[in-house]
Structure 1
Amino acid sequence: MERPDALAATAYRWGRDHALLLDSMFAGVLLVLLGTASVFIAGWPGLIVAGLTIFPLAVRRRCPTLVLAWTLAMSVVQLIFIPIPLPGNVAQAIVVYTVAANVPSLGVRLFTLAAALVGSLLAGFRWSTPPAYVQNALGAAAVLAVLAALVWVIGNLVRGREENLRQLGSAVIQLEEGQRQLERFIAQRERVSAAREIHDIVAHSLTVVIVQADGAAYAAENAASWHRTEARDILSVIGGTARSALAEVRAVVDVLRDVDAHDVDTEFAASHIGQATGAELRRLVDSVRAAGLPVEFHNHPATFDTLPFRLRFVVLRAVQEALTNVLKHAGSPVSARVAIEYTPDALRVRVDDDGPGQHGARAMGSQSGCGHGLAGMRERVRELGGEFSAERRPVRGFEVTVEIPLDTVVGERSAS
């Protein structure tokens, strides 16, 4: 069973949607009741005037200003030819209400109020009788003016309510559109984030695979003897790296597929490809060592694992990208060093190498738009309010540094 307020709202909407039909029925009922009463009071002239006054109410909400003009004309006719009030004069009050409730123009509404007050004064003197003619006229005019002003005020209140409802409806529509745009923005942001993760995963894994494959090819062609154990170790590294990369890419793609159906964020997407623990960071360094790059690694795993997830994840990706660039561009022979330093105020990460520095130009080119690795690192670090730099060292090699203030991630939930 519907609630009374729901039924009232339904009836109200039906009335607004079928205004012409409802007003025509209303005018017909008034014409029968008030027109008949006018015959007994003023005869056939009263019926004619009442009928001509009431009949236009059928289009009062569709053409309120025209109905107002017609009603004013009929009021003048009545004041001239009929010296008494008629039941049909109720239509004049209805017109005043209709104009106040439906006409947006303030000038038209104020004109209607002024016309109603002047008409009340004229009607009071026209319908007054001796012996206290003036006193009766002023009394009747005052009563009619108060009633007219009250009807006009009620109409304005109704119009204000309707206007507020329209504005509220417009605001709801704008809010819904804003929500849809926000959802589209979040979805686009997550797609970009997922694409960035895929880039980092694929770039690092393929670099390891390529280095191992090139080394195996060189050994197979030039080594005096190439033992099965060596081949097995190299193929094991290639296979493990490829499988790990495939699993991580699949996880990110799953997030990318579901991004429209879930309100996810970067942390959610990243959490599908690991927890960014100290052990994962160690495995990353070991995979690079297995690819043939000596890496000196300085980190305190217990301290690292207490950091918020987002901070650990940014550090993991920064180290991964920096070591990948060393593998790809630093040449040979070369070694790298990874150092993670903890202070009460900030976390500092430094990855450098002692190569000839030729990869520096390429890396710096990435910052200018030739690649996406360093740009992705910079974006991640900036999201946490940190500073990022990538530059040649004074003598040899290249250095990547990241510094992130810890107060920007205070309160972040650590992934366990």
Structure 2
Amino acid sequence: MVTSHPDPLNAPVERPDALAVTIYRWGRDHALLLDSIFAGVLLVLLGAASAFIADLPGLVVATLTIAPLAVRRRYPIAVLVWTLVMSIVQLVVVPIPLPGNIAQAVVIYTVAANVASFGVRSATLVAALVGSLLAGFRWSTPPDYGRHALAAAAVLAVLAALVWVIGNLVRGREENLRQLAGAVVQLEQGRRRLELFVAQRERVSAAREIHDIVAHSLTVVIVQADGAAYAAANADRWHRTQAREVLDVIGATARSALAEVRTVVDVLRDVDTRDVDTVSGASHDGQATGAELGRLVDSVRAAGVPVEFDSHPATFDALPFRLRFVVLRAVQESLTNVLKHAGSPVNAQVAIECTADDLCLRIVDDGPGRHVDEPATGTGAGHGLAGMRERVHELGGQFRAEHRPVRGFEVTVVIPLNTTVGERSAA
């Protein structure tokens, strides 16, 4: 089996050794042509030298040994078998070493550097060592025939082993480059998957923010518009002042929602903004404040739902921004659900309490209706409560939404104040 080596050097940057890299790649891509030229040069030089030393048998043996080097990298195992056969033939018909025997060292190197099978490479080394021993005894002459034969065999064996080791080192280097190239490809694929994952999280987060903004604002607008339409059609007297108040609430709610949606869209348009927390907290530090929370509660009151708000603005503003943002969205979504699902009559209560370790948020209503976007267990697939749960869990907190025993609905949020997410987002 011959190993194939993908290109690990296709770097798009300028390299100081660009010429060497170009030559290496050309030689690898044109292996057959380069090996043919190499075999031709050896045949001319070493074939003539072998003929000069051993006449016609030397020329024939050298030619048949050197010529297959033209396909040594394409068919290394076949060339190895052929070289073994020619080595046996040479030991039989030519009693002396030939310059063409250099081809045998080239074949040993080729197999060690290009064949993946360790068994084949090991068999090549064994054959080279046995051949060195046989050649030492075949080519040795008296006196001291045995000592000269062993010395020659030892020299040939050391040279063969050295060539084999060099070939294995080259094969190991090529294998390392191949694995490095594969690792680079996997790293690039991982980077692209991460970018896709971040982009998907940004879209999901933006959709979640826009859902909360639009759902709350449209609910307030619809309640105000329906109330105004009913009053205009059925009330004995409907003063301009009342109409102006309703329209003011509708206009302010719509303008606030438009500004918040624009903020989210602006964040998504910023190509340098890749942090999902930035999208989730698309508001600037000037938002998600106690004053904004108060305006949110006032808008619900203006829609006709009495809301008892138990929190000091200074305490809320002292919290990390990410924590304030999650609390603001939780209150917004919960009061929106009160407007949409609680029915009438209804009263709501919002309480924010900070202990030494946790922030506790509780939103309760006593309406007769059912919050249809989420079962009583708080584990359904409604977008509003699901979005709240995701935000709370990102901060390591606990979220609970359930129906009260008699009537009404309750949302409870507990978030640790030492959450690293909150601290990081506030930085």
Q: 1:247-326 to 2 correspondence within 5 Å?
A: 247-256=259-268, 261-262=271-272, 264-274=274-284, 275-326=287-338
Q: Secondary structure at the match of 2:159?
A: helix
| In structure 1, distance between residues paired with 2:373 and 2:47 | 95
Pair 1:144 & 2:156 matched = yes
Pair 1:102 & 2:99 matched = no
Q: Could you tell which deviates more after superposition, 147-156 or 281-290?
A: 281-290
| In structure 1, distance between residues paired with 2:15 and 2:55 | 48
Q: Could you tell which deviates more after superposition, 11-20 or 139-148?
A: 11-20
Instruction: Judge conservation of contact 1:297–1:339 (CA < 8 Å) in 2.
Output: yes
User: 1:61 — aligned with what?
Assistant: 73
| In structure 2, distance between residues paired with 1:405 and 1:376 | 19
User: 1:37 — aligned with what?
Assistant: 49
- Give the superposition deviation at 1:392: 2.4
Instruction: Judge conservation of contact 2:68–2:79 (CA < 8 Å) in 1.
Output: yes
User: 1:90 — aligned with what?
Assistant: 102
Supply the AA of the counterpart residue of 2:401: A
User: 1:406 — aligned with what?
Assistant: 417
User: 2:393 — aligned with what?
Assistant: 382
Q: 1:17-416 to 2 correspondence within 5 Å?
A: 17-256=29-268, 261-262=271-272, 264-274=274-284, 275-356=287-368, 358-360=369-371, 362-364=373-375, 367=378, 369=380, 371-409=382-420, 412-413=423-424, 415=426
Supply the AA of the counterpart residue of 1:388: F
Q: Could you tell which deviates more after superposition, 391-400 or 12-21?
A: 391-400
Structure 1 stretches of 4+ moved >3 Å:
253-258, 360-363, 365-370, 413-416
Supply the AA of the counterpart residue of 2:275: D
| In structure 2, distance between residues paired with 1:347 and 1:208 | 28
TM-score by length of 2: 0.92
Cα 1:4–1:185 shift into 2, 3 Å? closer
| In structure 1, distance between residues paired with 2:399 and 2:213 | 20
**Identical amino acids, percent of aligned pairs:** 76
Supply the AA of the counterpart residue of 1:251: T
Instruction: Judge conservation of contact 2:267–2:273 (CA < 8 Å) in 1.
Output: no
Instruction: Judge conservation of contact 1:366–1:372 (CA < 8 Å) in 2.
Output: no
Aligned length: 412
> Whose helix proportion is higher, 1 or 2?
1
Gap regions ≥5 residues in structure 2: 1-13
Cα 1:411–1:382 shift into 2, 3 Å? closer
Cα 1:411–1:221 shift into 2, 3 Å? closer
Cα shift readout 1:201-258 (whole Å, capped 9, x = no counterpart): 1110110001100110111112221111211111111112112212222332344455
Supply the AA of the counterpart residue of 1:306: A
Give the alignment's Cα RMSD to 1 decimal.
Answer: 1.9
Supply the AA of the counterpart residue of 2:103: A
Instruction: Judge conservation of contact 1:353–1:398 (CA < 8 Å) in 2.
Output: yes
TM-score by length of 1: 0.94
Q: Secondary structure at the match of 2:95?
A: coil
Q: Could you tell which deviates more after superposition, 5-14 or 149-158?
A: 5-14
| In structure 2, distance between residues paired with 1:68 and 1:385 | 66
Gap regions ≥5 residues in structure 1: none
